[in-house]
A and B are shown apart, each in its own frame.
Chain A
């Protein structure tokens, strides 16, 4: 359990097949989770990390079944608590690559507290939030990401809860890596996962995932060839933020307020167009990006919002231990010293 770096490309030649288990995958046919699983299995070999050093920890929900299907180490834990469990593991085991798989209910409702604290601590774990904007496993209640007015089994006349924007929330918690991807765009998803894997510290990835049973088509505007180009804002580090089939839209500073807005490219001068920079220390920029989507999800940025470097909780804690333990050679002798410290006396 020594401090060794995790992986390194090209050290191993594994394939997607190596990451499949003998367990029958039990998601509903057509569920977006399949695509995410397939992308993960085919992307992981790239990392060159031996299977035994990879751990998937999940909570409860359809999405949280994920670990059973990955031939790595895995824990399917309890509702909402995966980030806490992963924090204990990451703190004591720097040699592992630890992935948390969670859902919108799991991460943002029951587990909201653990999520924000893992992110602010910057624990070296990768958190994948499968956001289907619904409670899948419990058969269709609204979730903390469901839109206001959503009609579900538990809200027959529409929900009165304002939703969370998971990316905004993660940025508010000062997460050092925040990204968004879509289940069906495997290439873009793999790119984001790669960047997350390379990040030192907490990486938060929101993955839009279709639940074709209880919330079918929730992200169709971002998938349908007729609407997606106008709706999606692809984030690429160092590239101006223009989008649309003809790059006809551009992200610029909002004329009033503190944020960003979308304008026709033709109506703004090129130097007004924001050039995407993942590494800006102040989370305000990424936060402003995260506020661009409209209620119908048009103007949704996908890709890496923020990628900054900050010491990790687990790293700092291990450093303190290593410093303190540096000159201890005989632990039993040291223990005897400790027990005998303070005011002692001898009875003959």
Chain B
């Protein structure tokens, strides 16, 4: 079996006294779609920022393609980043550039390709995400779903081996979200990419995942194939899958305060 493309070992991230990730261990294998699940504030985005090398961990290691990205040279980090494509939750398209200029940006900056070749490549990438007709438009002229697809086109501009999505379906209607899921599966099949998706959309997760990992309050509680994940009896996973709300521990106290404000006592009730 080949070595994992992404490997996290004992990853701890602390902001002041608040520990966001508590010794996370995770391997993402070549060619798989790994979906990272977790509720709001569980540490998903923090973990993602560690994997793409935007933040440094308090302790532990992050290996991408076998390279420790926190202890390598800037040149090595640059080389590793060229093998990764990232689409952010808010798309992060450059508003001053048209869609085709956004997609052309990494090609212009990081290659010595001639302009006509870049233009052809940009068209191919935009066509792959179904945006061939929107090349000349500005990001602010596109819908949310189109922006996400444009961001995907930019992320795959350099044919990366690893593609990372942060909340791809967030803010999209179910039809557009489903189209984006199909796009992710198409990219996996067509380009044999290793794909890591951070989401909390269960339908999307089960549609695209080969394996799922779940973060709960900064701890990775499971990494499993989707069938096993769906059948899990772990109460934390069941709560997430069955959409059960947390206990409102302060509910009684709030009710008591309302009663006091209304001048109600046990007797009057």
Co-complex (A, B)? no
Binding site for A on B (CB under 8 A): none
